[in-house]
């Protein structure tokens, strides 16, 4: 039984959503006054072979996109505490035991993420103004000329003062921030990234602040913002079952 | 490529605008403490990233398949 997350409310109409395995249906189970969102997956795929499957990038990518979609669909109806990817319980009983054991932490986390979403912010070094690739006489020269146009593998740092100013502006808007991007830290030209917990009422302020910095940095840096994400990075480890 | 001076906003409610790497960043950020480290240390972060780039095509296929099978989800949201 794969757990997607826990909500306080249960929507009046059922959510029709396919699960992490692209086969099972997401269903709601009430436990200790909260609603657990699960789907019944193959124990072989998600328990016995989980570690092995996670080293298979095709499998990992498909499953994590499906996991995200399921949680996103639930979060349209209610604030959700997302479970750790790959959280599997043997049966309803073991899920209920876990919820009961972590009820206090779960209730604190609901307060923490109330009316808020996670947002991802990345700053990239701007690609140099595209110079036309010079005339070349061989494939090798062409590739070398193209490579010279790519952002450097080790981009210049953002000056500390500027970064402090940027982070300060965001911390005025965000409830919390969390380190981000263990997967994408190898992206070319990436200078800085963070995850923020932002109240929905402050979404416009975030956009305004990012646009202001983006204009200031127009020549040198590019800002990318993704969201709203379920608060993956702002749920206590304790309340995330293993 | 975006116009200089504009922020690139990608809305999670419109999945097609998101890159796979962003999804993995958030879904797996805190999600997979033990196994995640194992995966990353085996491949190395750069390699994982390159690997993800390479398999984008198969993911696009998978996502199309998901759209076909879970059109329900798009209507529900």
Domain co-membership, A35 together with A79: yes
Domain end position, chosen among A60, A75, A101:
A101
Q: Convert the pLDDT of each residue in A184-227 to its tens digit.
A: 666 678 899 999 999 999 999 999 999 999 999 988 999 999 99
Q: Please name which of A70, A134, A46 lies closest in space to residue B70, comparing C-alpha atoms.
A: A70
pLDDT at A114: 95
Query: Strands A80-82 and A2-7, how do they pair?
Result: antiparallel
Domain co-membership, A78 together with A148: no
pLDDT at A181: 62
pTM above 0.80, yes or no: no
Question: Cβ–Cβ of A65/B59 closer than 8 Å?
Answer: yes
Domain end position, chosen among A51, A74, A101:
A101
In a domain? residue A213: yes
Touching B: A residues 43-62, CB under 8 Å: 50-51, 54-55, 57-58, 60-62
In a domain? residue A37: yes
Question: Cβ–Cβ of A187/B69 closer than 8 Å?
Answer: no
Domain co-membership, A132 together with A225: yes
Domain co-membership, A140 together with A86: no
Closest approach of B31 to chain A, Cα-based (Å): 4
Domain co-membership, A93 together with A164: no
Touching B: A residues 163-192, CB under 8 Å: 178, 180-187
DSSP string, A173-207: H-SEEE---TTGGG-TTEEEEEEEEEEGGGHHHHH
Domain co-membership, A97 together with A142: no
Domain co-membership, A20 together with A66: yes
Distance CA A135, CA A69 (A): 47
Domain end position, chosen among A74, A101, A128:
A101
Q: What is the CATH number of the domain that holds A192?
A: 3.30.70
In a domain? residue A110: no
Question: Quick one: pLDDT band at residue A127, thresholds 50, 70, 90?
Answer: low
Nearest CA in chain A to B9: A225
Q: Which domain holds residue A145?
A: 117-232
Domain co-membership, A127 together with A224: yes
Question: Cβ–Cβ of B59/A61 closer than 8 Å?
Answer: yes
In a domain? residue A242: no
Domain co-membership, A85 together with A151: no
Counting the structural domains of chain A, the total is 2
Q: What is the mean pLDDT of chain A?
A: 86
In a domain? residue A108: no
Distance CA A46, CA B11 (A): 29
In a domain? residue A45: yes
Domain co-membership, A126 together with A213: yes
Q: Convert the pLDDT of each residue in B16-75 to its tens digit.
A: 567 777 787 788 765 433 232 223 323 333 333 333 433 344 445 555 555 665 544 333
> DSSP 3-state assignment of A120?
strand
ipTM exceeding cut-off 0.85 for this assembly: no
Question: Cβ–Cβ of A69/B70 closer than 8 Å?
Answer: yes
In a domain? residue A157: yes
Domain co-membership, A209 together with A123: yes
Question: Cβ–Cβ of B66/A69 closer than 8 Å?
Answer: yes
In a domain? residue A237: no
Taking the Cβ of residue B39 and every Cβ of chain A, the question of whether any pair is shorter than 8 Å is answered with yes
């Amino acid at each position: 039984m794969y757990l997607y997350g826990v909500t306080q409310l249960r929507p009046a109409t059922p959510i029709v959503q396919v699960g992490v395995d692209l086969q099972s249906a997401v269903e709601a189970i009430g436990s200790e006054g909260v609603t657990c969102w699960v789907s019944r997956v193959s124990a072989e795929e998600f328990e016995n072979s989980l570690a092995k499957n996670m080293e298979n990038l095709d499998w990992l990518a498909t499953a994590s996109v499906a996991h995200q979609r399921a949680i996103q669909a639930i979060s349209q109806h209610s604030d959700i505490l997302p479970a750790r990817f790959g959280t599997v319980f043997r049966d309803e009983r073991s899920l209920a035991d876990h919820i009961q054991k972590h009820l206090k932490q779960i209730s604190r986390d609901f307060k923490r993420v109330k009316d808020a979403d996670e947002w991802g912010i990345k700053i990239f070094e701007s690609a140099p103004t595209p110079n036309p690739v010079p005339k070349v006489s061989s494939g090798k020269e062409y590739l070398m000329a193209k490579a010279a146009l790519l952002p450097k593998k080790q981009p210049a740092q953002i000056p500390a003062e500027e970064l402090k100013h940027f982070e300060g502006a965001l911390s005025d808007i965000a409830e919390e921030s969390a380190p981000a991007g263990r997967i994408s830290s190898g992206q070319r030209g990436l200078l800085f990234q963070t995850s923020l917990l932002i109240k929905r009422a402050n979404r416009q302020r975030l956009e305004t602040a990012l646009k202001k910095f983006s204009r200031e940095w127009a020549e040198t840096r590019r800002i990318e913002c993704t969201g709203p994400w379920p608060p993956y990075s702002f749920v206590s480890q304790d309340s995330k079952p293993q | 490529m975006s116009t200089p001076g504009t922020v690139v906003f990608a809305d999670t409610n419109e999945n097609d605008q998101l890159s796979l790497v962003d999804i993995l960043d958030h879904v797996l950020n805190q999600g997979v403490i033990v196994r995640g480290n194992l995966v990353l240390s085996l491949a190395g972060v750069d390699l994982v990233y390159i690997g993800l780039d390479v398999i984008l095509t198969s993911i696009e296929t998978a996502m199309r398949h998901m759209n076909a099978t879970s059109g329900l989800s798009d209507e529900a949201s």
